[in-house]
């Protein structure tokens, strides 16, 4: 089966949907054969194929390229990924499974694989960067995103790159602050603070920041893990993961320890025995103190207290210097 034949097997509705998104034109007066030829011309271009291969998830990419390199007719992808892969127009559903048209195989083989591999590495790093930032901070000044990008990638943040990330992730902007949708939805129009780099915790490396880009973000401290182990022990298996994920979110997004405690009590802790509740309280307070909270720019309560102590110490030393200098002045 060639690429044109594969397109002909799609429904008219699918063809028109694909055409309108790829060509960005109205499909009302476009005949089926024109739809097919226009889609084929665009999708079989080197730029389109390179972009799609660059953006494929790693497991899917490896399966796809292995099928191309080995000359396989079909790609053994899980059924739940089928709709996702069809959006790429790099393979098609058939009675035997997902297949790659033979002329598309030849076109993919002719691409610069080393350039695609290098770009995939860069895309993975960029994805870890922006998702790490948004989960570490929750809401963050654009200036700080640009500052960290220059630190980790040793070059300025490319023009329009932030807007591209925001579109892909559905992020929102208020003045110069980028927000998670959940935070934006509860934003009540209050004045946003001016940017200060001292407000933010800065991961030393991109690898450290990338810890927050994964599904288990904010679960790196022993205190958080101890609390989650406790929750797992005192919740039903059916909703255990949901309760644990919700608890992490409530703590990370907390701006009031007492309110968060009440939310956790409503979530699961209300039915605990007195002894178990005391254990929960202790675990919760330790977790709250050692977790990187959005309200403190990704700093922990412990780090905020330490910074305040250090500022107080510096201020006292400055006062002592002034007193000493004044005494010297009086003696003269």
From first to last of its 332 residues, what are the pLDDT tens digits of the chain? 899 998 998 888 888 888 888 888 888 888 999 999 999 999 899 999 998 899 888 888 888 888 888 877 777 655 555 555 556 788 887 776 778 899 999 999 999 999 999 999 998 999 999 999 999 999 999 999 999 999 999 999 998 999 989 988 899 999 999 999 888 988 888 888 899 988 999 999 999 999 999 888 999 899 999 999 999 999 999 999 999 999 999 999 999 999 999 999 999 999 999 999 999 999 999 999 999 999 999 999 989 988 888 878 877 777 776 665 555 545 55
Residues 276, 269: Cα–Cα separation, whole Å: 9
Q: Is the dihedral of CA 63, 68, 69, 73 positive or negative?
A: positive
What are the residues whose beta carbons fall under 8 Å from the beta carbon of 243, sequence distance 6 or more? 231, 235, 267, 268
Q: Residues 176, 181, 187, CA angle at the centre, nearest 5°?
A: 65
* Cβ–Cβ under 8 Å, residues 152 and 129: yes
What are the residues whose beta carbons fall under 8 Å from the beta carbon of 307, sequence distance 6 or more? 299
Q: What kind and span of H or E run contains 129?
A: helix 113-137
pLDDT tens digits for range 226-249:
999 999 999 999 999 999 999 999
Q: Give 3-state DSSP helix, strand, coil % of the chain, rounded to 5.
A: 70, 5, 25
Domains in the chain: boundaries: 3-111, 125-188+196-207, 222-296
- Grouping H, G, I as helix, E, B as strand and the rest as coil, residue 31 is coil
Q: Is 72 exposed, middle or buried (0-12, 13-18, 19+ CB in 10 A)?
A: middle
Q: Which long-range contacts (CB under 8 A, 24 or more apart) does 227-233 make?
A: 227/280, 227/283, 227/284, 227/286, 227/287, 230/279, 230/280, 230/283, 231/268
Residues 129, 212: Cα–Cα separation, whole Å: 9
* Cβ–Cβ under 8 Å, residues 249 and 242: no
């Amino acid at each position: 089966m060639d690429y044109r034949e594969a397109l002909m097997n799609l429904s008219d509705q699918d063809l028109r949907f694909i055409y309108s998104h790829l060509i960005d034109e109205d499909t009302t007066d476009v005949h089926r054969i024109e739809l097919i030829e226009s889609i084929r011309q665009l999708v079989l271009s080197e730029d389109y194929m390179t972009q799609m291969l660059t953006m494929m998830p790693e497991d899917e990419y490896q399966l796809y390229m292995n099928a191309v390199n080995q000359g396989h007719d079909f790609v053994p992808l899980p059924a739940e990924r089928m709709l996702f892969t069809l959006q790429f127009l790099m393979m098609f559903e058939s009675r035997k499974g997902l297949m790659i048209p033979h002329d598309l195989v030849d076109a993919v083989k002719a691409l610069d694989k080393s350039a695609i591999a290098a770009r995939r590495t860069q895309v993975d790093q960029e994805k870890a960067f922006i998702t790490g930032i948004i989960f570490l901070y929750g809401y963050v000044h654009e200036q700080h995103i640009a500052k960290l990008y220059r630190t980790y990638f040793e070059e300025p943040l490319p023009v329009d790159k932030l807007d591209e990330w925001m579109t892909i992730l559905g992020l929102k902007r208020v003045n110069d602050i980028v927000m998670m949708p959940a935070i934006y939805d509860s934003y009540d129009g209050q004045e946003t603070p001016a940017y200060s780099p001292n407000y933010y915790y800065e991961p030393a490396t991109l690898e450290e920041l990338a810890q927050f880009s994964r599904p288990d973000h904010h679960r790196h401290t022993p205190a958080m893990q101890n609390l989650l182990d406790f929750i797992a022990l005192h919740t039903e298996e059916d909703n255990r993961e949901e309760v644990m994920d919700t608890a992490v979110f409530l703590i990370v997004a907390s701006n009031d320890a007492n309110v968060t405690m009440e939310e956790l009590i409503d979530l699961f802790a209300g039915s605990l025995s007195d002894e178990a509740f005391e254990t929960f309280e202790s675990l919760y307070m330790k977790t709250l103190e050692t977790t990187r909270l959005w309200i403190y720019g990704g700093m922990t309560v412990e780090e905020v207290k330490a910074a305040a102590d250090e500022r107080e110490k510096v201020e006292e030393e400055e006062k002592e210097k002034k007193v000493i200098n004044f005494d010297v002045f009086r003696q003269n």
